[in-house]
Amino acid sequence: MSLLLLALALLLCGALLPLCLRGRPGAPARAGTYAAAAAALAGLSGALPVLLSGEPATVSFPWSVPLGSFSLVLDPLAAFFLVPLFLLTGLGAVYGAGYLKAYEGRKDPALPWAAFNLLTAAMLLVFTASNAVLFLLGWELMAAASFLLVLFEHEKEQARKAGFIYLAAGGAGALLLMAMFALLGAGAPSMDFSSFSPPAGGTASAVFLLALAGFGLKAGFIPLHVWLPEAHPAAPSHVSAVMSGVMIKTGVYGLIRVLAFLRPWPEWWGWLLLGLGLVSCLGGALFALAQHELKRVLAYSSIENVGIILLALGLGVVAAACGADRLASLAFAGALLHVFNHALFKGLLFMGAGAVLHAAGTGELEALGGLSKRMPAAAALFLAGSAAACALPPLNGFAGEFLVYIGAFRALNAPGPVAIAGAAAGLTLATAGALAAAAFARAYGVAFLGEPRTERAAGAHAPGGLMAGPMWILAVLCLGSGLLAPLLLGPLAFAVGSGFGPYYGFLGGLEAMAPFLYVSAGGFALLGIVAIAAAKRRAFLGGREPAVAGTWDCGYAAPSARMQYGASSFAQPLTDFFQPLLRKIGRYPVISEYFPAKASFSLEAQAVFYNSVYMPAAARLRDLAFRFSWLQHGRLQIYILYIVVTLIGLLLWKL
Amino acid sequence: MEIIKPFSQYLAAMLLAPLLPGIINRVKAFFGGRRGQPALQLYFDLYKLFRKTPVYSRTATWVFRAGPVTGVCALVTALLVLPFAGRPSFLAFEGDFIFLLYLLGLARFATVLAALDTGSAFEGMGASREVQFAVFAEPAFFLGLAALARVGGQTSLSGMFAALTPETWRVAAPVLALLTAAFFIVLLAENSRVPADDPNTHLELTMIHEVMVLDHSGPDLAYILYGAALKLWLFAALIASMVLPRRTGSWAGDSALFLLAVLGVAVAVGVVESVLARLRLTKVPYLLITAFAFSALALIFQVGR
């Protein structure tokens, strides 16, 4: 625990120092990086022992804030979320040191570094706070710090728009959470989590729904996702990695804590979670396929992965409500394992996308191509991340989904509703898996393979060591945690135990052990067979030099890079099929002359929910608000009068 | 003796797989009134290709070279999971068919990326179609396996097929018949056979799988052809074990029967290919959705049974 406090102190120093050292060139970045890296080391060495031993630690300080107490709890569940947090922020800081160099002279480095460390500190508080006031403080700090980072390139209109949407979503979420804590703490002596007594009946459901909406706005599942594809791409890439890898998981974390508190669960909660997970899973993968910007593809893939986590939670809750504890434990374990795995591969992918932005100056897929020759190592690492995101064995994305699948199949042989939930969950995973594979094959193939489509892509260069190093580490972790998944089951069982009850933790670890050992064996077999086949291939070649020629384009001798299959054309069969959902807007040239002149064609992926749900709703809300505009005079005296009247009213009511 | 059995089963699958495309070709030749290639043609082709020097495009990178190796290895690993004649495989564990499904996904991912690596518009076209059909084929295949899992109350592929007996056909014939139909459609689409794709077409614009591998040559092409044969074997073996659950008590008898059934599936593919025209590309998803509907119906029947 003391190591965690040390990490917190280091992070706060890391947030203040860059601002103080503003005058000296290079100093703010150095201070920010070292503080973040040191805090990550301290935090990891604080969290890992808890995860390995399963022994929780607590610390509490007096705090003068009304209803608040500075009490932190580090139990295995918190530690399970802290490990990816510190992994990604530590590596992200190193990466960021390289990434932000490109902005030297154009941007003040102090603010991004201060905000980055503040964001990490805030997430540390969110994961460990055991008092509602402290939790909300961390929550709001997290939103504020990340808001600053989203606005990093505030001269771009896109980033400003993203910032405003993000601010609105964060504010709404926090309001819902305050309402939730008010409901929970209504009869309790203090706002410490331990003093809350579990509500029953309608209140429990109200708390659950408030938590689902409030935390959901952070987790970013559909339909609460509109801010995510705007905000994540706008932030600098190491921040996108942290936001997608860890920050959206604070929503999952909060939801799990509330669920754990509100037992026993009614069955319909599970169905609601399952339904939301299903929609996010399929929708996220489908929208990812239609995006034209690399980081937006990744952002939508994050929505898909949050959907997978939610789907697993929903399956678990339905199963637990129907008394099928074994498969509930498998589903919960799958959900948590996917939280960890997604952090690793999504961090890697965003860093890879950052390397592309850094080298080519754009993430527009249609402007890229051929990067694999210009940045071979980064391209290979991005490929590893993509394969993990498609849940391809032997990488880590497979492990978490595999647990959910086993849970779903156990469910199939159970009676009634559990079987339906299992079939729905498994089917969603299979379909979303195929869609995600299409989306990532498209993103990787168009950006990294083939010939460069523009000068900028042709002039791209490999990222420096500071940026490549963290990506290597994450890729090795992706492979390692895929191949050695059985080793993760111990900590996972502790985390499930502290999140959902020791019974589930024990069962989950037990049930998953045998299949995981086999999958691990299968992964090693695959690698062995690949090694043999590659060696055989070399033997077949027998040292002969392969001949080199142009690509066979069916006899056409002068193919140009523009003739390659691009991002739009690759996805077109699928996006056309799902056009009613995607609502792409295409502008096609009409050919009227015998000798058609220069024409242009454009295809735009729409933010469907933003345009057709949120904008009309916001317009309605604004109209409503204008009806009360007579309250607003713009005169200070009247506002003060309002305040005085309210205070007197409150005083009278309390008397 | 018991130890040798799984090995010899595995070896038999690996060695006999290239026979299936040969059988299909012979059946098609028979329907077309031609003499046709020898049934062992693919073996000769593989032998020839393995000794050739490959030609690589200037555009291609290591992804292009890794594609065929990864693809064939994913299938060789997938065969580790596949039961043989209703007898357990090397790797039989809970949820093993998920592993198999994702290995097939890995093979597809590798092939698609290798195709995109050439920068050819035609290969991109094939890759795009391949991932599109996968989106419809995977749910159908998955749901079919789910229904099969429910039939035997088993969660491993070996368990599912071991639980399958002639008795099962007597009590759950509609379920198994629907599943056979669904798996057969998935087999046709996944292995790029008529009516989803035509392996004999010679117009690149209409190809799917063949166009993705246009640029591969030498040992790489040999790996691709061999991988395709293994994939055909995998699906044919699933269908064969379903239609002809083991009857005799002896290992040799079961195995011989199973091999005959696998060859029978190949003959069926050849017959379909001879009597059916190819579907328009835009209609292929509907074919696969039909397979999905069959699987879903089978699951519903099974749950209601």
pLDDT at A166 exceeding the cut of 90: yes
Instruction: Tell me the residue range of the domain where B270 lies.
Output: 4-304
Q: Are residues A495 and A636 in the same domain?
A: no
Per the domain annotation, does A407 fall within a domain? yes
Whether B56 sits inside 8 A of A383 (CB atoms) is no
Domain that holds residue A645: 612-654
Say what the pLDDT of residue B1 is: 64
Same domain membership, residue A641 and residue A509: no
How far is it, in rounded angstroms, from Cα A480 to Cα A384? 12
Distance from the Cα of A28 to chain B's closest Cα (Å) equals 40
Residues from chain B that touch A376, judged by Cβ atoms under 8 A, are 61-62
pLDDT of residue A521: 93
Beta bridge partners of B56: A548
pLDDT at A48: 93
Last-in-domain residue among A542, A560, A584: A542
Cβ-Cβ contacts under 8 Å, A534 against chain B:
69
Contact B131 A437 (CB under 8 A): yes
Q: Are residues A401 and A524 in the same domain?
A: yes
Residue A103 within any structural domain of the chain: no
Q: Give B-chain residues touching A561 at CB under 8 angstroms.
A: 119
Instruction: With CB atoms and an 8 Å threshold, state whether A434 touches B119.
Output: no
Tell me: the pLDDT tens digits for A622-650?
Answer: 999 889 888 887 888 999 999 999 999 99
In this model, does residue B241 exceed pLDDT 70? yes
Whether chain B has a CB inside 8 Å of the CB on A552: the answer is yes
CB spacing of A533 vs B76 below 8 angstroms:
yes
Which of the pair, B113 or B208, is modelled with greater confidence? B113
In a domain, A90, yes or no: no
pLDDT for A498-531, tens place per residue?
888 888 877 777 888 888 999 999 999 999 999 9
Residue A384's pLDDT is what? 96
User: Under a CB-based contact definition with an 8 Å cutoff, are residues A40 and A93 in contact?
Assistant: yes
On whether residue A585 sits in a domain, the answer given is no
Instruction: Write down the ipTM of this complex.
Output: 0.95
Tokens of residue A218, six digits: 């952070």
- How many Cβ pairs closer than 8 A exist between chain A and B? 245
Looking at the fold, whether A518 and A627 belong to one and the same domain comes out as no
Question: A74: which strand partners?
Answer: A57
pLDDT in tens, B29-39: 999 999 889 99
Q: Which of B120, B287, B288, B292 to mutate to test binding with chain A, by most A CBs within 10 Å of its CB?
A: B120
| Residues in A 444-473 with any Cβ partner in B closer than 8 A | 444-446, 449-451
Helix (H) or strand (E) holding A70: strand A70-74
Go through chain B and tell me how many residues it has: 305
The kind and range of the H/E element at B27 are helix B19-32
**A234-256 pLDDT per residue, tens:** 999 999 999 999 999 999 999 99
Question: Residue B142: its pLDDT value, please?
Answer: 93
Q: Is A648 on the interface with B (CB under 8 A)?
A: no
Question: What three-state secondary structure class fits A247?
Answer: helix
H/E stretch holding A71 reads strand A70-74
Work out how many domains chain B is built from and give that number.
1
On whether both A429 and A324 belong to a single domain, the answer is yes
- Quote the tokens at residue A356: 């592309």
Determine, for residues B146 and A434 on separate chains, whether the beta-carbon distance falls below 8 Å.
no
Per-residue pLDDT for A172 more than 90?
yes
| Average pLDDT over every residue of A87-112 | 91
Is residue A191 pLDDT above 90, yes or no? no
Estimate to the nearest angstrom the gap between the alpha carbon of A222 and the chain centroid.
Answer: 13
Asked if residue A2 is part of any domain, the answer here is: no
CB-based contact, A406 to chain B, within 8 Å: yes
Same domain, A410 and A283: yes
- Torsions phi, psi of A567, nearest 5? -65, -40
Query: B155–A406: do the CB atoms touch at under 8 Å?
Result: yes
Provide long-range contacts, Cβ within 8 A and 24+ apart, for B284-288.
B284/B133, B284/B136, B284/B189, B284/B195, B284/B196, B285/A577, B285/B132, B285/B133, B285/B136, B287/B185, B287/B189, B287/B195, B287/B196, B288/B133, B288/B136, B288/B137, B288/B140, B288/B185, B288/B186, B288/B189, B288/B196
Q: Is B16's pLDDT higher than 90? A: yes
Q: Do residue A317 and residue A436 come from a single domain? A: yes
A513: closest chain B residue by CA: B94
Domain count, chain A: 2
Structure tokens at A634: 């713009």
Q: What is residue A351's predicted lDDT score, i.e. its pLDDT?
A: 96
Contact residues on chain B for A462, CB-CB shorter than 8 A: none
Q: Is residue A259 part of a domain?
A: no
Residue B215 C-alpha, separation from nearest chain A C-alpha, in angstroms: 6
CA B87 to chain CA centroid, nearest Å: 19
Chain B residues closer than 8 Å to A530 by CB? 69-70, 73
**Main-chain phi, psi angles of A235, to 5 degrees:** -70, 160
pLDDT value of residue B98? 93
Burial class (CB within 10 angstroms; exposed 0-12, middle 13-18, buried 19+) of A592: exposed
Q: Is the same domain home to A369 and A464? A: yes
Quick one: A285 and A395 in the same domain?
A: yes
Backbone angles phi, psi at A603, to 5 degrees: -135, 130
Boundary residue ending a domain (A524, A542, A560): A542
CB contact under 8 A, B119 and A559: yes
Domain assignment present for A206:
no
How many angstroms separate the CA atoms of A248 and A228, rounded?
Answer: 9
Residue A328 inside a domain? The answer is: yes
Question: B127-160, pLDDT tens digit by residue?
Answer: 999 999 999 999 999 999 999 988 888 888 988 8
Chain A residue numbers touching B117 (CB-CB < 8 A): 372, 445, 449-450
Q: Which two tokens stand for residue A541?
A: 């070649």
Q: Which of A431, A440, A514 is facing B135, going by the closest CB pair? A: A431
